[in-house]
Amino acid sequence: MPELKINGELRRLDIEPEMPLLWVLRDELGLTGTKFGCGVASCGACTVEIDGVATRSCVMPVGALEGKSIRTIEAGGDPLVQRLQAAWIKLQVPQCGYCQSGMIMAAASLLRQTPRPSDAEIDASISNICRCGTYQRIRAAIHEAAAAPTQGGQR
């Protein structure tokens, strides 16, 4: 039985180790913010952070995740995700909204590694697909979140 740390909580699950993380999150734990898109790690709708790195959960077997920290869009209290969500709203990024949780998780991972990314760094790092084509607003929202002060006045 794999033991996973998801959104700060240890979970012992009676599942097969080859089960993809996406299905554990959605079907076993009811964390439906992470979306199924393509099933082959191309679109990014299923992006979560594993140890702070954006990872496509649809192809990640849970057996490979023992001892790692998994963060989904449902993780509460993450100031960086909150800044990204505020920027998404302010700049009216979402249209259909389906890809947004994966897009925000990918952007959070980028900002954790590169707090002030250039346009080129954003374009290279965020490979998620947005069928609505709001890429210009996504880039602007990432810059907005990067520039926003955090609690205590630091970025």
Rounded distance, CA 75 to CA 9, Å? 10
- pLDDT of residue 150 exceeding 90, the answer is no
* Residues forming a β-bridge with 10: 5
- 99/146 same-domain check: yes
67-to-3, 10, 50, 86, 106 alpha-carbon distances in Å: 8, 10, 10, 31, 21
Asked whether the whole model's pTM tops 0.85, one would answer: yes
User: What is the reported pLDDT for 76?
Assistant: 87
Does residue 131 form part of some domain?
A: yes
Q: 78-107 burial string, b = 16+ CB within 10 Å, else e?
A: bebbbbbbebbeebebbeeebbbbbbbbbb
pLDDT 10s digits, 47-62: 999 999 999 999 999 9
**4-50: pLDDT as tens digits:** 999 999 999 999 999 999 999 999 999 999 999 999 999 999 999 99
What's residue 151's pLDDT?
Answer: 56
pLDDT at 153: 47
Domain interval for residue 114: 79-150
Q: Are residues 41 and 89 part of one domain?
A: no
Provide the domain count of the chain.
Answer: 2
- Residue 47 domain-assigned? yes
Residue 84 · residue 141 · CB < 8 Å: yes
Q: Which amino acid makes up residue 117?
A: P
Note the pLDDT tens digit of each residue in 103-112. 999 999 999 9
pLDDT for the residue 135: 95
Positive or negative CA dihedral for 71, 75, 77, 78?
A: positive
CATH of the domain at 21: 3.10.20.30
What pLDDT is attached to residue 134? 94
* Residues 61, 103 within the same domain: no
* Residue 127 pLDDT greater than 60, yes or no: yes
Task: Give yes or no for a contact between 2 and 66, defined as CB atoms under 8 angstroms apart.
Answer: yes
Residue 52: per-residue pLDDT: 96
89: domain CATH number is: 1.10.150.120
DSSP 56-94: EGGG-BGGG-TT-EEE-TT-TT-HHHHHHHHHHHHTT--
CA distance 111 to 132: 23
